[in-house]
Amino acid sequence: MKKSFLFGFLMIFVLFLAACTEDEGAEAESEDESSALDTVVDRGTVIAGINDTLPGFGYVGSDGENTGFDIDFAKAIAAGVLGDAEAVEFRPLSAQERFTALQTGEVDVLIRNTTWTTNRDTEVGLNFAPITFYDGQGIMVPADSGIESLEDLEGTRIGVETGTTTELNLADQMRARGINFEAVVFDNADAVVAAYESGSVDAWTTDKSGLVSRQSIMEDPEAHQILSESLSKEPLGPSVREGDDTWYDIVTWITLATIQAEEFGITSENVDEFLENENPEIMRLLGTEGNLGEQLGIPNDFAYQVIKQVGNYGEIYNRHLGPDTIFKLDRGLNDIYTNGGILYSPPFR
């Protein structure tokens, strides 16, 4: 009897400990599941990791303010979540710093000409929102160098920034073509460009959008040319920390709202007129019907605020990269699908 009683007591004690451990695990799991949304709302600002040295995408204007294509998408997130496009703090990050800053929570979102790759989506622990800019890697050379193709780069020294996909892309393409060259690696883009302009390297490589951006502020832009060949596919877009589905969904659908708005012809100038529109799809997008914002955990009029305060995708693109800018970048793939591009939003339903 005593042995039976002792055994029963031990079993009850073991079960009690197991239950306590399970409760503690559930509590820890609940804490781990807290979203960046809660932090952003409590703080009252979105902290965005950006590039502030890339004209057209992210740089400091003559008024001392951050401006550019990527900057506007950061503002769009602030407008959609907090109702204020200016409620965003910009954190300039180098290519080497950017992933650590996102992983550690130093920034809420990374919007810094970052390419979506398998490794970054898995081992690095990023979740990429929809692509905002389809790009490709290119190479810049002096216009009088006589270099017209990749094969002409035989025996040259090519500058490249470390911590980027451009290093591997360059090595892959040159090896595949049997071209001998020397890769000269630098810690940041400024150092690469400085070496190129001083003649320390014969060419330099990065995304073509970056080449166009940098060429615009060189002492003599006409003295340089970008080779027509593309070395890679470079899909660029916002990214957030892996494991935070709530925040990922929010950044995703705010980005998509800018694309859907352009398809509907809704702009920052005419969005108020569409508030009376009886098209169910437009009503759901603008939050005059349904509860899509509530499902995401943000205000139902989130898309309205994004469009009203920042604009649709076309407005953002043209404001910083389009025909009235020094870049004059053709929309190409970065146009909505009805205009021959590949930008496409799933239904707001």
CA 48-335-276 angle, 5° bins: 80
What pLDDT shows up at residue 31?
A: 40
What pLDDT shows up at residue 14? 41
Write the pLDDT tens digit of every residue in 75-87. Answer: 999 999 999 999 9
Extended strands (E) in the chain? 46-50, 53-54, 58-60, 66-67, 88-92, 109-110, 126-128, 133-135, 137-142, 157-161, 182-186, 203-207, 224-226, 234-236, 239-241
Question: According to the model, what pLDDT value does residue 26 have?
Answer: 39
Which residues, given as ranges, of the chain have pLDDT below 70?
A: 1-33
Instruction: Tell me what pLDDT residue 21 has.
Output: 42
What integer pLDDT is reported at residue 84 of this predicted model? 98
* The pLDDT value given to residue 189: 87
pLDDT, one tens digit per residue, over 16-28 is: 444 444 444 434 3
Which H helix or E strand runs over 283?
Answer: helix 280-286
pLDDT of 33 reads 61
- pTM (two decimals): 0.84
Predicted confidence at residue 162, as pLDDT, reads 86
